[in-house]
Amino acid sequence: MNLVGISINHNTSPLELREAVHLSRDEIVEFIPRLKESLFSDGVVISTCNRTEIFGFPKNLGLDTTQLIEKLIEFKPGVGIQPQHIAKYFSCGAVKHLFSVASGIDSMIIGDSQILGQVKEAFEISEDLSFAGSVLRRIFDTATRVGKRAIKETTIGEGAVTVSYAAVQVVEKIFANLEKKSALVIGAGETGELAAIHLRDKGVGKIAISNRTIERAEKLAEKVRGEIIPFPFLAEQLHNFDIVISATSAENLIISFDDVKSAIKKRRGSPVVLMDIAVPRDIDPDVKKIDNVFYHDMDSLKIIVDQNLQKRMDQIPLVEKIIMEEMIGFFSWYNTLDVVPTIKTMRSFFEEIRHDELEKIRNKVNEDDYNKIEDMTRRMIGRLLHNPTVKLREFAETGANINDVTTRTMILKELFNLDHLPANGNESNNEKKI
């Protein structure tokens, strides 16, 4: 298999470069025709926040990945790609990498299930642009099955591995029913936004956003269907919320001990959860001394994150086992693409010999004898070819090394000089990229 590809990802390159080479859906749609024109017969482009990858079957068997890199640089000039920023994949390694990506074990956040949807979407774009043949379709169908099995058969995606999500999961353990609770998110940056989105997805009853820049607060509030609390009025509004998650970039504390003590008094002792996920801290850590205040900061949440991350890491061998099982299944199918036409050609070759010899005696025997000879030779050819046919097919279907399968079919072709003959039924092997 001559599948080739390149990857610029979180393991090979800095964030600035990943951002520079990121391709939007519209850009992928524009880029694919360039690949199709000069490099690939079919292929796929995957581009997310942490990776941009290009894979395909070359039109020219001598294609160098340098040409692929040059094509990307031509499309995204001035991005400063260096050799160390690129991972290169070939044949079985390319298939295994795609399966690893789809399963989430190659993600920056181990077990990230979002990547599976992104992989499926990338293939759909190629299909829409007639840039996906049957082999590529089989690869991505299998990749999708790998991702689904990883989610279903392992716990690779369970447990919070981001501080934002860990904070929300702790809140869930404290309050059994979030639908009746109100939450305030202070800070509309990336961390605050993630926390707000997690709260919304968990069905919290009410969400409010507070941020120094009102425009950012408005944008996030619209996204999570929340309201806005003006930043200067934080202290006096604090008592209205059961949950407070703070994630600003302030240099000093923005919620003092007295602010929380006053809020608890107004709440008549009703408990409040304070999640300080800012560095440096936004909330005075002494508030944990106040009755009915559940306080967590980055240190305590990081312990949860690290524990969950380790649990996910422990699942990687199980996912790798799934990947290996699916690779065996895929290559079992792939190997037969070369074997089946060879078997058909071999049978056609022997059938042609049988037919020629029968023609030589057609006028030398009566019709009844001819029919008996014709039937006997048919059975004889069937018996002669049965064992090699079965063995060759079994060898291919057991998932044997593709080079071994190819070697055996080549030997068979050379022994009987089959290369000059078409497969039975005029079927070709054009679909197979070898």
Report all structural domains of the chain as residue ranges with CATH numbers, in order of start.
4-153 (3.30.460.30), 163-296 (3.40.50.720), 329-426 (no CATH)
Output the pTM of the full model. Answer: 0.71
pLDDT band at 26 (very low <50, low <70, confident <90, very high): very high
Mean pLDDT confidence for 359-366 = 92
Tens-digit pLDDT profile for residues 95-117: 999 999 999 999 988 998 889 99
The answer on pLDDT for 430 being more than 70 is: no
Mean pLDDT confidence for 267-289 = 95
Confidence (pLDDT) at 427: 40
Residue showing tokens 């944008």 = 219
CA dist 322 and 310 (Å) reads: 20
Confidence (pLDDT) at 432: 46
What does the block give as tokens for 411?
């030997």
Mean pLDDT confidence for 354-360 = 92
Cβ atoms within 10 Å, residue 420:
8
Tens-digit pLDDT profile for residues 135-174: 999 999 999 999 999 999 999 999 888 899 999 999 999 9
Catalytic residues: 49
Where residue 426 falls (left for φ over 0; alpha for ψ -120 to 50; beta otherwise) is: left
pLDDT band at 371 (very low <50, low <70, confident <90, very high): very high
Contacts with 151 (C-beta within 8 Å, 6 or more apart), sequence order: 113, 116, 157
The answer on pLDDT for 126 being more than 50 is: yes
Strands of the sheet with 4-9, listed across from one edge = 40-48, 51-58, 4-9, 87-90
Look at 200-209, 349-358, 392-401 and tell me which has the smallest mean pLDDT: 392-401
